[in-house]
Amino acid sequence: MVGVVCDGSAIGGASVIPGPEIEVSVVMPCLNEARTVGVCVAKAVRALREMGVSGEVIVADNGSTDGSQQVAAAAGARVVPVARRGYGAALQGGISAAAGRYVVMGDADDSYDFSRIEPFVARLRAGDELVMGNRFRGGIQPGAMPWHHRYVGNPVLTGLLNLFFRAGVRDAHCGLRAFRRDAYARLDLVTTGMEFASEMVVKATLRGLRVGEVPVVLHPDGRDRPPHLRSFRDGWRHLRFLLLFCPLWLFLVPGLALLAAGGGLMVWLTPGPRPVGGVVLDVHTMLLGALCAILGHQTLWLGLYSKVFGHRLGLLPPDVLTRAVDGRVTVERGLVLGGLVFAAGVGTNLWLVARWWGVSLGELDAGRTLRVALWGLSGMVLGVQAAYGAFFLGLLDLWKPCPGADGGSLLYSERAAVHPFDAPDRTSDAPG
């Protein structure tokens, strides 16, 4: 089974067990893994034969210069060159070339035992759409995982993923996993680096895929060079991806906390100074509260924009907030609310001007009047933010997925059935 796929021509290889339909494709990303890729391919070939399934082994080579391609082909793999660099890019290329109904993916460094992939296939046959390996249940052999990955990186990132998305997985970054190819097509995965692993789990959860786990053993890899993984760089890329796909925890929770803390501090200090543990909190602390309230309010708007925009693009599923925005938040209502808050702020400051006029433009009691001024300033800023925020949401509301567009990528205005910039040229000489 040889063909031209992805970024280059496939090299060598054939389906392990011939049949009218390939059931299982084993895909391995590879970059200079000549020492181990042959062993991994041989184990996968043997496993497929012992299982008696029609299958294939694909090595997605990402530009190896050590002869990995020839080693893999000699062991029975079909080698697919993938020009775009990166772990995720290599896997995307290999998966695109796969013909199997089910795909098993894993690293080509011999850290996972490809002879034990039958439980993954069994779970897929039973109805799971994504099956994750769990190294913490299966076992981590001495020297197989650095301590900071085992006790810090993996638990923290997996915990955040479960907190943000309620995925319910215990090892979100296991490199050995399997999935239905039709389910994978619905995920529309795009990341090219190590965060590809997180993207798969996040999107599977957001799209409601049935996710299962099986125990796997992690072995020390057989490399004679440092791993491609860079702990802090790739850890940050995973965390950044999780935050970008979760406006609730990136924007809404911090924004609400800032707004509540800042507003509460202002209310608490409005009557006058407050002694706390031997110190006195006064108007300067109230100023800090005003700044927190303004920052929190603006962050909440950013979260709202992100929710709506992510939903419009199909990246995020609809939820209570986006449904409420679609039905209730309009430019007109935002202008009315923002205008009322702004007017309250202006009225507060006009009251201060009147007090100043009452003392013949003389000196005012800064301790009392500054408290009122902070409320006036905050009202004016929050009112302007609300009004312009509603306008921006109105702009987002002009763009919605076009029914019938390929992949939902074409957008349309409420006023037209096509993209407004694709409207016919009314100045042409064409009749009609």
Mapped onto helix, strand or coil, the DSSP state of residue 246 is coil
pTM above 0.85, yes or no: no
Kind of pairing between the strands at 8-9 and 4-5: antiparallel
Q: What does the pLDDT profile of the chain (432 residues) look like in tens digits?
A: 333 333 334 555 555 555 568 999 999 999 999 999 999 999 999 999 999 999 999 999 999 999 999 999 999 999 999 999 999 999 999 999 999 999 999 999 999 999 999 999 999 999 999 999 999 999 999 988 888 888 888 899 899 999 999 888 999 889 999 999 999 999 989 888 888 988 999 999 999 999 999 999 999 987 766 666 667 777 788 888 888 889 999 999 999 999 999 999 999 999 989 999 889 999 999 999 999 999 999 999 999 999 888 887 777 888 888 887 777 788 888 899 999 999 999 999 898 888 888 777 777 777 778 888 999 999 999 999 999 999 998 888 776 555 444 444 444 333 333 333 343 443 334 333
DSSP E strands in 138-205: the ranges are: 177-180
Contact criterion met (CB below 8 Å) for 338 and 314:
no
Question: And the tokens for 97?
Answer: 């070339």
Length of the chain: 432
- How confident is the model at residue 410, as a pLDDT? 40
263, amino acid identity = G
Q: How much is the pLDDT for 244?
A: 85
**Rounded Cα distance, 83 and 199, in Å:** 21
28 strand-pairing partners: 59
Q: What share of the chain is helix, strand, coil (3-state, %, to 5)?
A: 55, 10, 35
Cα–Cα distance, 154 to 173 (Å, whole number): 7
Quote the pLDDT of residue 135. Answer: 94
Whether 85 and 62 have beta carbons less than 8 Å apart is answered as: yes
